[in-house]
């Protein structure tokens, strides 16, 4: 876009053009005050300094403004001053791209456009006054016509008047940020930031009224804070009443604690410094809540590293006013997941073009490099790999250097990291006051990979004290490591380079350095036996060795300070050793070892003189060890040993005496196929929480391993162990989880009190068990019991009611189980009951004692004829699954808590009882006898906030094939419900790709106010502002008829939208592809409803370039057609398989929400449900109000 004065500074945000005698002391002054309150700098003619010439000053003010607001009032055209302003404003629109917003205040747009009424009278006088300069009059008329054709607002559409002022301010607030120049603070810091801002803007959905949390996630140094700052700068001042940016939450939280941050947050949001002096401010206090609930706020929480810290800051965030937004930047995605952020934006590194641009700016001071350097740039960008910090530092370092110097520097980078980058990062290392913490940092940087958890590291490096635990906390505080999801410790690769560089600087000879990790250095030291007392740690992967290496028996003799020996392999199952010890290890293995891992260890034993008293972890996966007792002399105990992993040591026969290893927590013997005995010394292992004997096929005897234990195993994995049942009872109170195949023990008739009373998870699925003994009641800690597909199971005891901790009971596929036991006492915790595919014939009335039951699945119970009447008393029941229960004819009253009802293919079901208002997911596919629904209460949308926001599921209504449904049910009740659910989902922002509604019928609901017979709606006129902030979605409806029955047939729908813009005639297209139904069994007409939310339209590639919402469209066209994927490319309406008979569209606006609730309230007062049963399509039609002018309900007019 050309500009006549490109260097002219824009001093004002808004210029107000108005007729003083009409609006100066009324509407114009109110608007000026409202704009000023939002810190929008506005020019109004009362600001003129005394003595100024008005015309030149006004002319400059117009040119120096970003937006001009023209208030057309009754006498506007009688002022030549106003008309000259108008002409100049439109000239600036053409030459400077200025935004122009016409406001029709007390005058109809057609009066302005055609100069009728008062405007006609004014021009009669002007033509007389300017009869010698009629070109001036024609210019004014053309300007009025042009301005009145622009997107504007009509005062008659807004009552009271303050709503018009509010609307103008909102529209300006949306448009203005797009014209704000990026602050110098951001220029050059983040190339390509605009594309990220636009994506975040879409996620923020500022026009919606819900409260949204948006996360910006990415690695350190990637630009999260810069992006959040730019977003905050752009939107905070104009879109929100209060705002706060909390920098560096991670460190501030650790340094000052949560109270300080909460005080700071609240004091800024409420503009109340007295909060800083409060002792214990609390977000949920009544005083604070009353203030917050009136504030639409924007909060940015920068660098949040823990969900606990996040919760401490935004606890009670739902008490902010509707429309509030919270942005969180973090390096840990788990923080955002736990907080259930509405959207998570992953900030990736710079792409190749952006990396080159950023690097070039720092290296050459311009975006393109000299030709001689072009071939070298790829090496730089490859090294930095999109990291902005590295690109800036390297660019500055290489600035003004010759190509030869570049080549030398780039070759050096391959072995030695850039000093400037590392020096910046080393500041944090040098700030560590404690030498022990510095050593801990070096251990992690050089010896421990990213797969280790914090517990792993503590076990590996800690010897009987808490130093490592404290040291790790210090490193986290100093941002040198992070504790991420699943407790994984993570260190940035550049920080690892810092640590490795520090160690390499210790000595030129690798054998005289403290830590070895490079495969070449390790092989050099081990093969040549050059290791010294300086070596404290060795860590490398044998899979990276490309030749066999023979080690001397005295390889480790001089490395007596070695604490960590970690030789791992990616190929445990590979028996080809790459490290050979032809002479063994003799007696040389350092006694200071705390961590010993040697995968594929080739010897039958460890050195005879090895003293393992400092050993914390012993890992010999896939080793050749035969008798554990020969590994170490029995006179040595293992006092600090916490973990043993001898998995897949196929020659191991027996464990050693571990009676003195009181700290042992984990034993992994999986795949030890020669192991025949587990010694009784395990009985004293009170801290043992993990025992894995999977695949120990020769193990014959489990002696009493826990006679005196006070703890219990988190998991006992005993799959494949024979002769187990007798000895399993001796595991007593230690086991928490048991999985395994107990088919051999199906006749066991009694579970004694010795049967692990603390067991929490018992999986006996697919076993031959025939009865569950009453003594199961002794499993008082049982949380989950799985007996699924026990095809011989015939009975279940009533004593189940004594399992007070039971939460889930799975009896699926128990074909011989005909009755469910009486529930004699209330069960407070059972939430899920699965009986699908079982032989159950009936459920007892006492099922009402399952007071906490949430999910009941009885699918495919072919002998089930009815459900108990007491079902309605289950006040927590949310889901009932009854698919393929072919004998069910009716259902009892349903509990009001029900959200999901699935009765697909219940072919004898004739009617449904009154459905709860919160039943949003109802599937009744193939219920060929279903005739009616008794009632289906309509909820108020504003009552559904918690329900919609807190639940993630695919809600839909599907009555496909219910051909006997009466007209009132499908044309009124179901259609009405589908519309309410569409509005609810849009209102609360939980939009998912697939929200559809399907039911038999041949009429498009009246709510779809633009309908056609056929598949196309063409050349539809769109008035100004059809796509303003109130526009939310497009809803579609078709009537489809299958012409040919084919069970293999599938149907999808394709809907194409075309919008032609008023500005330049450009045509924007949008293609919506929706899966409507998967198979074809019925030939009757069916109605299919779906919608596309505004966000999808705005973000689609087809709409790229359309400036929402400022760009207006003049025409819209819609075309829908069926697609048949099983037929390949056949996608037209002439197919023999089916056809679309009718098509309907509705533009959904915020006003639709208000009308829906108002009508529901009115109908509820008059017994709405009875009215629905008798009034035909009144309920659906009632959602549409009478048309009034150019209200949203009639914005789309057919040509």
Distance CA 1133, CA 1124 (A): 10
Q: Exposed, middle or buried by CB within 10 Å (0-12, 13-18, 19+), for 250?
A: buried
Structure-block tokens of residue 267:
């004091």
- Between β-strands 297-301 and 242-246, what pairing exists: parallel, antiparallel or unpaired? parallel
- Sign of the Cα pseudo-torsion (504, 509, 513, 517, in order): positive
Euclidean distance between CA atoms 396 and 656, whole angstroms: 61
Question: What gap in Å lies between CA 1166 and CA 1174, rounded to an integer?
Answer: 13
Return the closest-CA partner of residue 1091 out of 987, 941, 1016, 950.
987
CB count within 10 Å of CB 226 equals 18
Residues with Cβ < 8 Å from 796, sequence gap 6 or more? 772, 811, 817, 820, 821
Q: H helices of 50-186, where?
A: 54-63, 80-96, 109-114, 117-129, 134-148, 161-175
Cα–Cα separations (whole angstroms), residue 262 to 242, 266, 295, 336? 15, 6, 16, 19
Q: Which two tokens stand for residue 239?
A: 């879109």
The tokens for 978 are: 């589908």
- Intra-chain end-to-end CA distance of the chain, in Å: 33
Kind and range of the H or E run holding 299: strand 297-301
Q: CA distances (Å), 467 to each of 432, 484, 639, 975, in order?
A: 15, 21, 18, 67
Residue 15 contacts by C-beta under 8 Å, 6 or more apart in sequence? 42, 43, 61, 62, 65, 67, 68, 69, 89
* Residue 723 Cα to chain centre, angstroms: 48
C-alpha Rg value of the chain to the nearest Å: 38
What separation in angstroms does the CA of 643 have from each of 458, 657, 658, 679, 689? 12, 15, 12, 17, 10
Coil vs helix vs strand at 127: helix
Catalytic residue set: 85
Q: Give the Cα separation of 258 and 313 in Å (integer).
A: 7
In terms of Cα–Cα distance, which of 92, 300, 71, 252 is closest to 179? Answer: 92
Nearest to 1000 by CA among 960, 1041, 967: 960
H or E stretch covering 327: strand 325-330
Q: Which parts of 907-1045 fold into alpha helices (H)?
A: 945-950, 967-968, 975-987
Can you tell me the distance from the alpha carbon of 167 to that of 1030, in angstroms, rounded to the nearest whole number? 10
Give alpha helix (H) positions in 414-560: 419-430, 435-447, 454-461, 467-477, 493-504, 519-528
Instruction: Report the alpha-carbon distance of residue 1137 to residue 465 in Å, rounded.
Output: 76
To the nearest 10 degrees (0 to 180), the angle between helices 249-256 and 258-269 is: 120
SS3 639: coil
Q: Where are the alpha helices (DSSP H) in 1015-1117?
A: 1094-1099
Contact between residue 349 and residue 222 where contact means Cβ atoms under 8 Å apart: yes
């Amino acid at each position: 876009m050309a500009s006549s004065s490109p260097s002219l500074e824009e001093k004002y945000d808004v210029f107000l053009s108005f007729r003083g005698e009409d609006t100066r002391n009324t509407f114009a002054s109110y608007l000026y005050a409202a704009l000023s309150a939002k810190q929008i700098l506005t020019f109004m003619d009362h600001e003129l300094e005394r003595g100024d010439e008005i015309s030149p000053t006004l002319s400059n003010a117009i040119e120096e403004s970003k937006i001009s607001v023209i208030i057309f009032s009754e006498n506007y055209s009688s002022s030549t001053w106003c008309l000259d302003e108008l002409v100049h404003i439109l000239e600036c629109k053409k030459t400077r791209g200025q935004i122009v917003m016409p406001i029709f205040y007390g005058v109809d747009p057609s009066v302005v456009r055609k100069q009728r009424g008062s405007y006609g009278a004014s021009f009669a006088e002007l033509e007389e006054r300017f009869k010698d300069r009629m070109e001036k009059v024609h210019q004014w008329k053309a300007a009025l016509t042009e301005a009145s054709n622009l997107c504007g607002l009509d005062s008659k559409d807004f009552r009271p008047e303050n709503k018009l002022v509010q609307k103008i301010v909102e529209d300006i607030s949306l448009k203005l940020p797009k014209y704000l120049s990026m602050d110098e603070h951001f220029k050059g810091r983040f190339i390509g930031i605009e594309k990220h801002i636009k994506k975040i803007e879409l996620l923020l959905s500022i026009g919606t009224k819900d409260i949204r949390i948006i996360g910006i996630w990415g690695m350190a140094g990637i630009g999260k804070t810069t992006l959040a700052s730019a977003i905050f700068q752009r939107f905070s001042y104009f879109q929100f009443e209060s705002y706060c940016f909390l920098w560096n939450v991670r460190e501030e939280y650790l340094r000052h604690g949560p109270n300080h941050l909460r005080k700071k947050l609240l004091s800024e949001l409420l503009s109340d410094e007295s909060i800083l002096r409060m002792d214990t401010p609390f977000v949920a206090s009544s005083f604070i809540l009353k203030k917050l609930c009136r504030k639409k706020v924007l909060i940015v929480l920068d660098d949040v590293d823990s969900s606990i810290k996040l919760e401490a800051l935004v606890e009670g965030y739902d008490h902010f006013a509707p429309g509030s937004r919270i942005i969180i930047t973090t390096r840990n995605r788990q923080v955002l997941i736990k907080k259930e952020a509405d959207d998570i934006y992953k900030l990736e590194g710079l792409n190749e073009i952006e990396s080159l641009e950023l690097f070039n700016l720092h290296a050459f001071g311009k975006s393109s490099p000299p030709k001689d350097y072009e071939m070298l740039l790829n090496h730089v960008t490859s090294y930095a790999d999109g990291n902005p910090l590295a690109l800036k530092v390297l660019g500055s370092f290489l600035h003004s250097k010759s190509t030869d110097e570049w080549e030398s520097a780039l070759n050096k980078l391959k072995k030695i990291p850039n000093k400037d980058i590392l020096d910046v990062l080393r500041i944090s290392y040098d700030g560590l006051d404690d030498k022990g913490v510095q050593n801990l940092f070096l251990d992690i940087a050089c010896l421990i990979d990213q797969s280790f958890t914090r517990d792993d590291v503590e076990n590996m490096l800690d010897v009987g004290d808490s130093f490592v635990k404290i040291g790790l906390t210090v490193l986290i505080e100093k941002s040198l490591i992070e504790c991420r999801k699943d407790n994984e410790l993570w260190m940035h690769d550049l920080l690892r380079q810092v640590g490795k560089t520090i160690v390499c600087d210790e000595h030129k000879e690798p054998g005289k350095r403290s830590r070895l990790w490079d495969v070449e250095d390790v092989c050099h030291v081990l093969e040549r036996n050059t290791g010294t007392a300086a070596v404290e740690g060795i860590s490398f992967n044998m899979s990276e060795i490309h030749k066999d290496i023979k080690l001397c028996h005295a390889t480790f003799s001089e490395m007596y300070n070695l604490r960590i020996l970690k030789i791992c392999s990616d190929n445990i199952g590979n028996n080809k050793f790459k490290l050979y010890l032809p002479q063994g290890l003799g007696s040389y293995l350092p006694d200071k070892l705390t961590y010993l891992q040697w995968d594929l260890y080739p010897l039958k034993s460890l050195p005879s003189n090895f003293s393992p008293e400092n050993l914390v972890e012993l890992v010999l996966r896939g080793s050749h060890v035969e008798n554990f007792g020969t590994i170490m002399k029995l006179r040595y105990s293992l006092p600090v040993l916490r973990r043993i992993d001898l998995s897949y040591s196929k020659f191991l026969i027996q464990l050693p005496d571990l009676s003195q290893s009181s700290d042992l927590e984990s034993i992994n013997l999986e795949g030890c196929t020669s192991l025949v005995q587990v010694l009784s010394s395990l009985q004293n292992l009170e801290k043992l929480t993990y025992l894995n004997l999977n695949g120990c096929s020769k193990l014959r005897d489990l002696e009493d391993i826990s006679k005196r234990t006070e703890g219990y195993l988190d998991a006992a994995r005993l799959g494949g162990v024979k002769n187990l049942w007798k000895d399993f009872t001796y595991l007593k109170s230690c086991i928490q989880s048991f999985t395994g195949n107990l088919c051999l023990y199906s006749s066991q008739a009694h579970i004694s009190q010795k049967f692990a009373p603390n067991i929490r998870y018992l999986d006996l699925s697919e076993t031959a068990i025939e009865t569950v003994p009453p003594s199961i009641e002794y499993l008082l800690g049982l949380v989950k019991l799985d007996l699924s597909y026990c095809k011989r199971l015939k009975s279940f005891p009533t004593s189940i009611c004594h399992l007070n901790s039971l939460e889930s009971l799975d009896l699926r596929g128990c074909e011989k189980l005909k009755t469910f036991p009486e529930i004699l006492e209330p069960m407070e915790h059972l939430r899920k009951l699965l009986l699908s595919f079982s032989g159950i014939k009936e459920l007892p009335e006492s099922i009402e004692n399952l007071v906490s039951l949430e999910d009941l699945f009885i699918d495919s119970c072919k002998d089930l004829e009815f459900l108990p009447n007491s079902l309605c008393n289950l006040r927590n029941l949310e889901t009932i699954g009854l698919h393929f229960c072919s004998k069910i004819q009716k259902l009892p009253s349903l509990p009001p808590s029900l959200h999901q009802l699935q009765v697909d293919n219940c072919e004898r079901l004739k009617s449904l009882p009154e459905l709860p208002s919160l039943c949003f997911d109802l599937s009744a596919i193939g219920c060929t006898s279903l005739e009616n629904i008794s009632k289906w209460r309509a909820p108020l949308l504003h009552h559904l906030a918690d329900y919609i926001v807190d639940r993630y599921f695919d809600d839909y209504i599907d009555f496909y094939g219910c051909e006997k449904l009466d007209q009132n049910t499908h044309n009124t009740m179901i259609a009405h419900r589908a519309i309410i659910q569409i509005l609810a989902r849009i209102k609360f922002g939980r939009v998912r790709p697939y929200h559809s509604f399907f039911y038999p019928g041949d009429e498009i609901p009246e709510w779809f106010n633009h309908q056609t017979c056929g598949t196309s709606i063409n050349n539809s006129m769109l008035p100004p502002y059809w796509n303003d902030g109130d526009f939310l979605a497009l809803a579609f409806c078709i009537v489809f008829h299958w012409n040919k029955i084919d069970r293999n047939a599938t149907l999808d729908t394709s809907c194409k939208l075309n919008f032609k813009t008023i500005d330049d005639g450009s045509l924007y297209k949008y293609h919506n592809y929706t899966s409507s139904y998967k198979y074809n069994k019925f030939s009757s007409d069916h109605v299919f409803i779906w919608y596309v939310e505004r966000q999808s339209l705005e973000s689609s590639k087809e709409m790229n370039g359309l400036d929402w919402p400022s760009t207006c469209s003049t025409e819209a066209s819609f075309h829908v057609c069926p697609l048949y994927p099983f037929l390949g490319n056949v996608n037209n309406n002439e197919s023999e398989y089916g056809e679309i008979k009718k098509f309907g569209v509705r533009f959904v606006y915020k006003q639709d929400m208000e009308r829906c609730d108002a009508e529901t309230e009115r109908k509820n007062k008059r017994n709405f449900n009875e009215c629905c049963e008798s009034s035909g399509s009144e309920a659906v039609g009632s959602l549409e109000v009478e048309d009034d002018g150019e209200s949203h309900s009639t914005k789309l007019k057919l040509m």
